[in-house]
Amino acid sequence: MTPPRAFFLTPEEPKIGSGGGGLRSASLLGYLRSKCDVQTATFSLRSHSKSPAARIWRNTKRLARGCPPLFDRFSGYERQLTEALHGRYAAGVVEHFWCASYASLLRSSCDRLVLDLHNIESQLARTHAEAARWPASWASKRFAESYERLERYWLPKYDVILVASEEDRRRLSHPDVRVFPNALPEIPQPRVPEANAILFSGNLEYHPNVEAVRWFRSKVWPSVREQAPAVEWRLLGRNPAAITAFTNGDPRIRVIGPVEDAIAHLAEAQVCIVPLLSGSGTRFKILEAWAAGRAVVSTTLGAEGLGASDGEHLLLADDAADFAAAVLRLLNNRTLRARLGDAGRALYMEQFTWPAAWRRLDESGGI
């Protein structure tokens, strides 16, 4: 029997090692390819300056127009998309809300439209507004309002909405919202010696990560540094220049930057930290730490959507003093570190591998 055809539109390359967005898209693409003949498409983007002055000018115009940055960045490519469509498709799958505005064009070629929300963008912008300093806080609040308006308009154009967690599902008003968890491939646990280090990982230019690094450096790290005089804080991920203002000048802070195998580096840490103050969806940095079998300290928001229990799978702390105390507790207790690392690894294997995520999507009705 000839498999049904599906059209997969993504603004970023779906692959392992390209960040959380690429990982989620790769997982969903793998699911689709097990059931459909899939055609993928993306955009050849217009070039623009990345200088601070150019970014400020672009975002000023976006604020005036009520069009958030990424939604604006991926708009206006109807001609490219039209040229990519060939014949009829049983399903059209769109990655990220940034590309939601292509629903009308895709509807003419697709029997069914599915929108995969990596984040609820209004929630992401709203939490960033609460965590950031002025004027970024003011701009994020305005963009959150714009995203809410755009979500009310575009989400009803899709037959099915995919989200990363039950918490995000409850935030949406749509007749068919299905949970497709963020997940990793089945990764063997590295067996490496622990280093006297704590580790933060992620795209270091992504604004929730920038705020997390700033908060940990100013509010938490001084206490940890003083009470654990030999520990090193390592930062792992792309775009390390974005956080140099918070990491320079301390020889016990080491910015590693991007690496090919993040899990192997995470496995060296005694503690993985997730001091996030803003965000949406669920955090791949926790899944990767669990895959490495490492203990995690996270804010409540950082661990949202994973079904993890404080004291069983990780430690939760939202106050700076409590966060420092949790990190120090783990640094001083090898048995607790091992117990939390093993429990996190077991939860990852049970619920957050690609096969587990695919089964959950099938159970909710598939695509």
Domain boundaries, the chain: 5-183+354-363, 197-351
Identify the CATH number of the domain defined by range 5-183+354-363.
Answer: 3.40.50.2000
Q: Which of 126, 120, 121 is nearest to 140 (CA)?
A: 126
pLDDT, the chain, mean: 95
Kind and range of the H or E run holding 113: strand 113-116
Q: What percent of the chain has pLDDT over 70?
A: 100
Q: Are 179 and 164 in contact (CB under 8 A)?
A: yes
Phi, psi of 220, rounded to the nearest 5 degrees: -115, -50
Determine the pLDDT at residue 293: 98
Determine the pLDDT at residue 45: 87
Averaged over 350-365, what is the pLDDT? 97
What residues does 94 pair with on adjacent strands?
9, 115
Q: Which of 114, 105, 110, 103 is nearest to 89 (CA)?
A: 110
Going across the sheet that includes 113-116, the strands are: 37-41, 5-9, 91-95, 113-116, 160-163, 177-179
CA distance 35 to 23: 19
Is the CATH number 1.10.1740.10 carried by domain 197-351? no
Q: Is the pLDDT of residue 301 over 90?
A: yes
What confidence tier does 50 reach under pLDDT thresholds 50, 70, 90? Answer: confident
Task: Give 29 or 281, the one with higher predicted confidence.
Answer: 29
In the chain, the amino acid numbered 238 is R
CA distance 275 to 221: 11
Averaged over 245-271, what is the pLDDT? 95
Q: Is the pLDDT of residue 17 over 90?
A: no
Averaged over 254-268, what is the pLDDT? 94
CA distance 317 to 349: 25
pLDDT in tens, 200-238: 999 999 999 999 999 999 999 999 999 999 999 999 999
Averaged over 7-30, what is the pLDDT? 92
Averaged over 101-111, what is the pLDDT? 97
Averaged over 314-331, what is the pLDDT? 98
Determine the pLDDT at residue 19: 83
What confidence tier does 46 reach under pLDDT thresholds 50, 70, 90? Answer: confident
pLDDT in tens, 123-180: 999 999 998 889 989 999 999 999 999 999 999 999 999 999 999 999 999 999 999 9
Q: Which of 168, 184, 165, 164 is nearest to 287 (CA)?
A: 184
What confidence tier does 313 reach under pLDDT thresholds 50, 70, 90? Answer: very high
Determine the pLDDT at residue 150: 97
Q: Is the pLDDT of residue 18 over 80?
A: no
Determine the pLDDT at residue 351: 97
